[in-house]
Structure 1
Amino acid sequence: MTTERTDVTGTGAGAEPAVAGPGSPMVARTRAELRTARAALDDGDVAVVMTMGALHDGHATLIRRARETHAHVVVTIFLNPLQFGPKEDLSRYPRTFDADLEICSAAGVDLVFAPTPDVIYPDGDPGVRLSAGPLGDVLEGQSRPGHFDGMLTVVAKLMHLTRCTSAYFGQKDAQQLLLIRRMVRDLDFPVRVVSVPTVREPDGLAMSSRNTYLTASDRETALCLSSALRAGAAAAVEGPSAIRRAAREVLVHEPLALIDYLVLVHPETLQDVPEWYRGEALLAVAGRVGTTRLIDNLPVMVGPGGGPLDVFTHD
């Protein structure tokens, strides 16, 4: 499918958003264009799906879920520099805007907001940022200091700019999802946060834009992450120690995967659950395969009748 696209660079107050073609979403690149396009949508029923581009079927699933229950869907495509640390290569992140636009068109998106950093941060590096607090210092936050502060800052800005009523996020980024929920609740954002189950490849690998970095042998190695999660969930009826032991057993047999952490934690505090714990927990793993760092997780019910969950039952 080929989509004709008009690039927009105007910044004037009267700038009009570009329309990619018949049945395709409008494309706004500036705040003025976003205001014009957003004004044409129903203020009372707009869902947003926030992305950094390089869209795949995981993103398309979020869009389709939002489309099922909302009159309008906005997708943001913004590679946020605040989320990348000094040792992370922002320039390496894949940029596939034309393909992204085709996915948005096929999924029924009304509006794509694709700004550059100077549009989101007109004064340069923002002097005021949101803080993720203690929940942002563990797990991914320990490996990527400041990452979640940058993530929350841009999510807050995009919620304001798009004036969304709901925002859809994947369960795959479980810590991110938790922090966004806490931000919305603690700071009284009038936005409903909806979680969508992790979308996986047929072989079980969680879909991620970073999967494009994997070589064929790396990809085979990476399957140990999802295999470990499944093994842990299968032991959920026996309790936390059994879950951790079963998952760890899979990982130790794959020496080419350099595991950063494997944890079973409470889904709201991210603290390790004790042996007596029964209820919902997050089984999460992160590691490096080749040159690529991957994360994955699985919500589990611990105790009698336990096993894997798609998403947590609490909102």
Structure 2
Amino acid sequence: MRIIRTIPELRAAVAEARTTGASVGLVPTMGAFHEGHLTLMREARKSNGLVVVSLFVNPTQFGANEDLGSYPRDEQRDAAMAEAEGVDIVFAPDASEIYPDGFATSIHVAGVTDVLDGASRGAHHFDGVATVVTKLFGIVQPDVAYFGQKDAQQVLVVRRLVRDLNLDVRIEACPIVREADGLAMSSRNVYLDADARAQATALNRGLDAASALAESGERDGATLVAAARRVLDEAGIRPDYLELRDNDDLSEVTRLDGEALLAVAARVGAARLIDNHVLKGGA
């Protein structure tokens, strides 16, 4: 496995691999790997001749009062984990490589960024995500890019970006990977002390309660959201948001007739965590 830090060197490595007819899979990450990241790498390895994992804590998607400075970083550990999964290249650039002096371009995806994390964290968040993903797609030119369903809104933003800009890359969303107690795996889970760690399990338990109600035939959106909120209230969690949204355009869902995304974000202890379930209505 190679660790590459510059765009010209990465492009040369990808071009060399393409001379053999290899397809290219990209796993964009901010590091601090856990089983969720490793699952994406395994999926990429199954289907591609060259697997590139980007390792870059993207400063433009963090707000002034967010955890950019404290975000967990351990490149040596991450590189060893990626190598064990058969990754060919870890692209670990400095911020100045991605955003050189004078950088003045930003990508904004309207609509799907206006709600949930876009409303809670601010417009800068998904502008930062869209810009860095567009740059990574331009640098690597992957055939397929792999994202985790835990970041469901991010997946929808990237899909819209690819569609609107006619980018020649297929987006694969892989299922959420959870701990044995149901907590969605996240790099930010390391912020949780024992009490907060136990409290955080209420996020998935709340979503489970709404999912069970939907499976029993309940279709009223407010009733489904209320079922999840009761579990959060019992655990003393006050969410940033808990909303039922269309699973394609994130418009508000008042009645569950098709697929809808029940999404939650909440600060638990020192961590801001997100989670979601896809609820299915209809016959």
User: TM class, shorter-chain normalised?
Assistant: over 0.9
- Percent pairwise identity: 49
- Supply the distance in 2 between the matched residues of 1:243 and 1:143 (Cα, whole angstroms): 21
Q: Moved runs in structure 1, 4+ residues, more than 3 A?
A: none
Structure 1 residue aligned with 2:88: 110
Task: Give the counterpart of 1:260 among 240, 257, 271.
Answer: 240
Alpha-carbon offset, residue 300 of structure 1:
1.4
Query: Does residue 124 of structure 2 align to residue 143 of structure 1?
Result: no
Query: Does residue 196 of structure 2 align to residue 218 of structure 1?
Result: yes
Measured against aligned partners, the alpha-carbon deviations of 1:152-192 in whole angstroms (never above 9, x if no partner) come to: 00000001101111100000001100000000000000000
| 237-246 vs 281-290, greater mean Cα deviation | 237-246
Count of paired positions: 277
2:229 maps to a residue whose letter is R
Q: How does 1:190-205 map to 2 (within 5 A)?
A: 190-205=168-183
Alpha-carbon offset, residue 234 of structure 1:
0.5
- The alignment partner of 2:254 has SS state of coil
Query: Does residue 61 of structure 2 align to residue 83 of structure 1?
Result: yes
Structure 2 residue aligned with 1:35: 11
Measured against aligned partners, the alpha-carbon deviations of 1:222-244 in whole angstroms (never above 9, x if no partner) come to: 00000001111001121134322
> Contact 2:25 / 2:142 at 8 angstroms: preserved in 1?
yes
- Supply the distance in 1 between the matched residues of 2:117 and 2:16 (Cα, whole angstroms): 39
Query: Does residue 262 of structure 2 align to residue 298 of structure 1?
Result: no
Measured against aligned partners, the alpha-carbon deviations of 1:112-157 in whole angstroms (never above 9, x if no partner) come to: 1000010011125x31100022321211011111100000000000
Query: Does residue 261 of structure 2 align to residue 282 of structure 1?
Result: yes
- The alignment partner of 2:65 has SS state of coil
1:296 maps to a residue whose letter is D
- The alignment partner of 1:104 has SS state of helix
- Supply the distance in 1 between the matched residues of 2:262 and 2:115 (Cα, whole angstroms): 14
Alpha-carbon offset, residue 44 of structure 1:
5.1
2:247 maps to a residue whose letter is P
Q: How does 1:174-193 map to 2 (within 5 A)?
A: 174-193=152-171
Runs (5+) with no aligned partner, structure 2: none
Alpha-carbon offset, residue 301 of structure 1:
0.6
1:271 maps to a residue whose letter is S
Task: Give the counterpart of 1:54 among 12, 20, 32.
Answer: 32
2:87 maps to a residue whose letter is V
More helix by share: 2
- Supply the distance in 2 between the matched residues of 1:287 and 1:35 (Cα, whole angstroms): 39
| Pair 35,113 (structure 1): closer, same or farther in 2 beyond 3 Å | same
Measured against aligned partners, the alpha-carbon deviations of 1:65-90 in whole angstroms (never above 9, x if no partner) come to: 11111122100001111011111131
- Tell me which structure has the larger Cα radius of gyration: 1
2:120 maps to a residue whose letter is S
> Contact 1:166 / 1:193 at 8 angstroms: preserved in 2?
yes
TM-score, structure 1 normalization = 0.85
CA-based RMSD of the aligned residues comes to 1.3
